[in-house]
Amino acid sequence: MGDTMGEKLERVFMSMIKMENVYINGIGRTKFGALNRTLPELAYDAMYNAIKDSDLSINDIGAIVVANFLGGPGQGQLHINSLIASLLPGINIPIFRVETACASGGIAVQQGALLLENYENVLVLGVEKLNDSSTLKITKNLAMAGDDLADQKEGVIFPAQYAMIASQYIKKYGASREDLSLVSLKNHKTALKNPLAHFYHKNVELEMINKSPDVCSPFNLFDCSPISDGAAALVLSKKYRSKRDIKILASESATDTISLSHRKDITSFKAAKIAAKKAYEKANVLPEDIDIAQVHDCFTIAEILALEDLGFCEEGKAISAYRENSFPLNGKLHINTDGGLIGDGHPVGATGVAQIYEVVEQLRGEADKRQVKDAKIGLTHNIGGAGGTCVVHILGEK
Amino acid sequence: MGDTMGEKLERVFMSMIKMENVYINGIGRTKFGALNRTLPELAYDAMYNAIKDSDLSINDIGAIVVANFLGGPGQGQLHINSLIASLLPGINIPIFRVETACASGGIAVQQGALLLENYENVLVLGVEKLNDSSTLKITKNLAMAGDDLADQKEGVIFPAQYAMIASQYIKKYGASREDLSLVSLKNHKTALKNPLAHFYHKNVELEMINKSPDVCSPFNLFDCSPISDGAAALVLSKKYRSKRDIKILASESATDTISLSHRKDITSFKAAKIAAKKAYEKANVLPEDIDIAQVHDCFTIAEILALEDLGFCEEGKAISAYRENSFPLNGKLHINTDGGLIGDGHPVGATGVAQIYEVVEQLRGEADKRQVKDAKIGLTHNIGGAGGTCVVHILGEK
C-alpha cells in the first residue's frame, strides 16, 4: 500500500484489532425515508428482523451496542441504551450507546465485535429519527458533528464544509460541477433496485440533477444525501453457525481534527487512509481484491474522496471513472450497491450498520436485483463529520 | 450472595467480563464545581494530569474512550471523540464516545478495560460542562436521561423521580425526611477534606440542611447533588508497571427499563443488584471484604438504596446506619470518601471516572486527609437515570 497511498503516513498504530472469530449471523433493517415511525418503533423493528434472520433468540444475546447521533438534540432522548432495555423487558443485559457523529453505526459494529471477546453473541443496533423537527433545526443539529468554535459559530454547516472540499478538489484536479452530478446519477439509479431505499421510487435523470436548486456552491440539492429516518441491526457471534454467516475480517478506525481549518490538506481524509491501511493489513487483502464497497457518500465529493482514500483510484483520478462511466471499477469493483447514502438514505446512527447489512446480503447472494455476481470480499467506509472519524470494515466468507 | 440479595434474580448472564490484566497506571482530574472553563480545557487538563501521573507518554496510548452526557443539548457539541483528536494533533488513534446518562463515566472505564484486549494502553476520559446554560435548560437537558413519553412529557424530572423513590422508601420502611439529611451531612463533612470537591469550602450543618429550600417533597436543596463542571481521566494498561498500579478485579454492568413506571418495585434497583452480583462473583470477594465504596448519591435516597443493592445492608436497614452514625459500616466500610456526588460534585460524564480516581488514591495510600487506613479493596457504583443503567467496578492491589 505505502507508496500508492500517495502520502507518507506519519504515525499509524500497527496494533490492530483482533478479529479472529467474528461472524455476522443475522441482519435486519427498516425502510429508510421520511417515516411516520418513532425512534423506539424503528429500533424494535430492526432488532426483530435481525434476530428473526439469525439462528439465535433474543435470550442468546449477551450484550447490545446501540448507535445513535441526534437523539438528545432531536427527540430530547438520551440514555437510549436504557430505552432499548425497556423494549426487551426482563433482559437486563449490558447495553452500550456510542456516538461518533455519522460514523456512529460503523463504530458500534466495531464495539460489538470487540465485545465478542467476552460474550458469545452481541446485537448491534443503529437507529436515527430525524424527520420530526423543522429542516432548520435538523440542519443545526447535524452541525453538532463539527467544531462549535471554529465552524458552527461561523455558520459552516456540513454542506458548506463539503462544498469547500469539492471546490478545492475541482481547482486542484480540474473537475467540474457537472462531474459531481455523475456520482449522484449512479447512486440514484442504483437505489431504484433497492426496495428499502429512501429513493426507491424516484427516477432521477442527469438533467434533473444539474437543474436542481443550489444548496451551497458548487453543490445543488442532488449532491446531498437526504434526511432519513431508519434503523439497522446485526447479530454478531463468535461461533460459525450457518453457511449464510459472513465473517468480519477487519475492523479498524482512526480519528483526525474535528475542524477542516486545522488540516493541511482537505482533498483527502487522513483518518480514512489510516483506517483503510490498517484494515487491508489486518484482512491481508489489497484494494484490488475488493468486489463491493459501501462508501460514505454523504455528499457527491465524499464518494470521490473515498475511492481515492481507499486506494481504488489514484489521487485526483477518481473523477475520470465517472466521466468514462467505468463502473464496475477496473471491471470488477461495485460501489454503493444499495444506492449509498445519496440513494438509500442517511439515517445517521443506522448508516454504518446498514452498510454492513448490504455487504452481507451481497456476499450471501441474497441481494435480489442488486446482486453482484460472485461477490466474495466486501468493504465498508463510514465517516464521521468531515473526516474527523473513519471506520473501515472488510468482510468475507469463512 | 443469592439469598441475602432478598430477591430471586430472574435472569443473569453469568458470562462475565474478563479482567485478567487490567491495571490503572495513571489518574488525573480537575476540580469539580461551577467553573470558568470550557469543555476542551477541562478534557485537556484531566488527560494531561493522568498521563503525567503515569509511567507512559501520550504516544504509548493505543485508543481513547471519552464519556460525555450533555455535550449535544448543552454545548451543541457532538462528535467529541474527534474534538479530543483535535487536542492531540497527529495522534489519529481510535477514539470512542460513549453516553449512558449519569453512568457514562463508569461505562467508559468498562469499555476502556475491554479495549485492553487489543491495545497495550488505553486512556479513559470523562468530561462534562453544565454551567453555561440557565438552570431551567440544564434541568430540562438532564431530564433527557428519562423516558421522553412516560416521564419527560409529564414533567417528571429527576428530582421528582428520586423523590417518588424516597417517598416509597419512607412509607415502606418507616423513615423520615430528617433521616435523609444525615446522608447529606455525612457527604458534605467528607468533602471538606477533598480540595478538588465542589463543596470543599462549604461547611454544612444539620440545621442548614433541614431548613434548606424545598425542591420536590420530600427533598430539599441539600438532598440533591450539585450541577458541576469537571473532568477525570485514567491511564489503563495491561502491563503491571509500578507499585502504584491498581488492578481492576471486576467491571460489570446491567440495564433496566428507563421509566420507573414500568417497574414492579422502585425501592431498589435491579440493574444495580445484577451488576453487583456479577462483580462480586468475578472478583471473588464478598460485600464484607470491601474497605471503601464510592456509590452514586445523586440524591440522598440513592446512597441509601446503593448500600442495600450492593449487599452492605439488608433491605430497609441502611437508614439505621445513618441514625446511629455507624460509619464506617460494620466498623470497616467507608462510603464516599471523596464526598460523593453530593459533596464532591456531579459533572455527569466525569462522575464514574472520578469514582475510580478516588479508589485508586485510597488504595495507593495517597489520599492525604481523606486516607482510609489499610484500604485494600474498593468498589464503585455508578447509576444512569433512575437505575436504567448500573456499572460496578471492584479494584484491588495486584
User: Taking residues B291-306, what's their average pLDDT?
Assistant: 98
Contact A219, A299 (CB under 8 A): yes
Q: Exposed, middle or buried by CB within 10 Å (0-12, 13-18, 19+), for A208?
A: middle
B residues 45-64 closer than 8 Å to A (CB)? 62
Cβ distance of B79 and A270 shorter than 8 Å: no
Contact A361, A27 (CB under 8 A): yes
Cβ distance of A120 and B18 shorter than 8 Å: no
Annotation marks residue A102 as catalytic: yes
What's at A177, amino acid-wise? R
| A84 neighbourhood in chain B, CB within 8 Å | 255
Q: A with B: how many residue pairs have Cβ under 8 Å apart?
A: 223
What's the rounded Cα separation, in Å, for the pair A204 and A69? 29
Q: Which residue of A has its CA nearest to B10?
A: A90
C-alpha distances (whole Å) from A132 to each of A229, B20, B343 are 9, 46, 40
Q: Which residues is A134 bridged to in the sheet?
A: none
Q: What is the pLDDT of residue B15?
A: 61
Cβ distance of A389 and B90 shorter than 8 Å: no
The three grid cell numbers given for residue A383, joined into one nine-digit string = 465517516
List, as one string, the DSSP characters of B73-141: IIIS---HHHHHHHHSTT----EEEE-BTBTHHHHHHHHHHHHTTT-SEEEEEEEE--TTS-HHHHHHH
Q: Where are the beta strands (DSSP E) in chain B?
A: 23-29, 63-67, 95-98, 121-128, 214-216, 219-220, 230-237, 246-255, 292-295, 334-335, 377-384, 389-396
What's the rounded Cα separation, in Å, for the pair B232 and B355? 9
What's at A312, amino acid-wise? F
What's the rounded Cα separation, in Å, for the pair B157 and B140? 7
List, as one string, the DSSP characters of A237-260: ESS---TT-EEEEEEEEEE--SSG
Closest CA to B256 of A119, A233, A94: A94
* SS3 per-residue string spanning B355-383: HHHHHHHHHHCCCHHHCCCCCCEEEEEEE
Which parts of chain A sit beneath pLDDT 50?
A: 1-11, 14
What's the rounded Cα separation, in Å, for the pair A281 and A258? 26
What's the rounded Cα separation, in Å, for the pair A158 and A346? 14
The three grid cell numbers given for residue A323, joined into one nine-digit string = 466521466
B135-181 tens-digit pLDDT: 999 999 999 999 998 999 999 999 999 999 999 999 999 999 999 99
Contact A375, A366 (CB under 8 A): no
The closest CB to that of A100, out of B81, B101, B255, belongs to: B81
Q: Which residue of A has its CA nearest to B261?
A: A86
Closest CA to A272 of A313, A303, A309, A312: A309
Contact A269, A283 (CB under 8 A): no
Residue B217: other Cβ atoms inside 10 A: 11
Q: Exposed, middle or buried by CB within 10 Å (0-12, 13-18, 19+), for B174?
A: exposed
The closest CB to that of A62, out of B13, B86, B117, belongs to: B13
Measure CA of the first residue to CA of the last residue in chain B; give whole Å.
25
Three-state DSSP at B233 gives strand
Q: What is the pLDDT of residue B327?
A: 95
Closest CA to A175 of A211, A225, A223, A226: A223
The three grid cell numbers given for residue A253, joined into one nine-digit string = 478506525
Question: Chain B interface, mutation test: which of A21, A75, A96, most B Cβ atoms within 10 Å?
Answer: A96
| A152 neighbourhood in chain B, CB within 8 Å | 76
How many Cα atoms within 13 Å fall on the side-chain side of residue B298?
24
| B8 neighbourhood in chain A, CB within 8 Å | none
What's the rounded Cα separation, in Å, for the pair A395 and A361? 11
What's the rounded Cα separation, in Å, for the pair B42 and B229? 8
Residue A92 touches chain B, beta carbons under 8 Å: yes
List, as one string, the DSSP characters of A45-111: HHHHHHHHHSSS-GGG--EEEEE-SSIIIIIS---HHHHHHHHSTT----EEEE-BTBTHHHHHHHH
Distance from A364 to chain B by nearest Cα, in Å? 29
Q: In this model, does residue B8 exceed pLDDT 50? A: no
DSSP code for B72:
I
User: Taking residues B334-343, what's their average pLDDT?
Assistant: 98
Residue A98 touches chain B, beta carbons under 8 Å: yes
Distance from A325 to chain B by nearest Cα, in Å? 35
Q: What is the pLDDT of residue B12?
A: 53
Q: What is the ipTM of this complex?
A: 0.95
Residue B348 touches chain A, beta carbons under 8 Å: no
Residue B327 touches chain A, beta carbons under 8 Å: no
Could you tell me which CATH class the domain A23-133+228-237 is placed in?
Answer: alpha beta
What's the rounded Cα separation, in Å, for the pair B377 and A71? 38
Cβ distance of B73 and A73 shorter than 8 Å: yes
Cβ distance of A79 and B389 shorter than 8 Å: yes
Cβ distance of A118 and B11 shorter than 8 Å: no
B residues 278-307 closer than 8 Å to A (CB)? none
| A271 neighbourhood in chain B, CB within 8 Å | 92
The closest CB to that of B76, out of A91, A148, A385, belongs to: A148
What's at A354, amino acid-wise? A
The closest CB to that of B93, out of A13, A16, A83, belongs to: A13
**pLDDT > 70 fraction of chain B, expressed in percent and rounded:** 96
- Positions of B annotated as catalytic residues are 102, 346
The closest CB to that of A82, out of B11, B90, B389, belongs to: B389
Residue B261 touches chain A, beta carbons under 8 Å: no
How many Cα atoms within 13 Å fall on the side-chain side of residue B318?
23
Q: In this model, does residue B245 exceed pLDDT 50? A: yes
Contact A78, A360 (CB under 8 A): no
pLDDT band of B19, cuts 50, 70, 90: confident
Cβ distance of A111 and B107 shorter than 8 Å: no
Contact B141, B348 (CB under 8 A): no
Residue B388 touches chain A, beta carbons under 8 Å: yes
- Compute φ and ψ for B17, nearest 5 degrees: -75, 130
How many Cα atoms within 13 Å fall on the side-chain side of residue A59?
4
Which residue ranges make up each domain of chain B? 23-133+228-237
What's the rounded Cα separation, in Å, for the pair B114 and A278? 20
The three grid cell numbers given for residue B262, joined into one nine-digit string = 414500568
The closest CB to that of A15, out of B16, B62, B107, belongs to: B62
Q: How distant is the alpha carbon of residue B204 from its chain centre?
A: 22
Q: Which residue of A has its CA nearest to B65?
A: A98
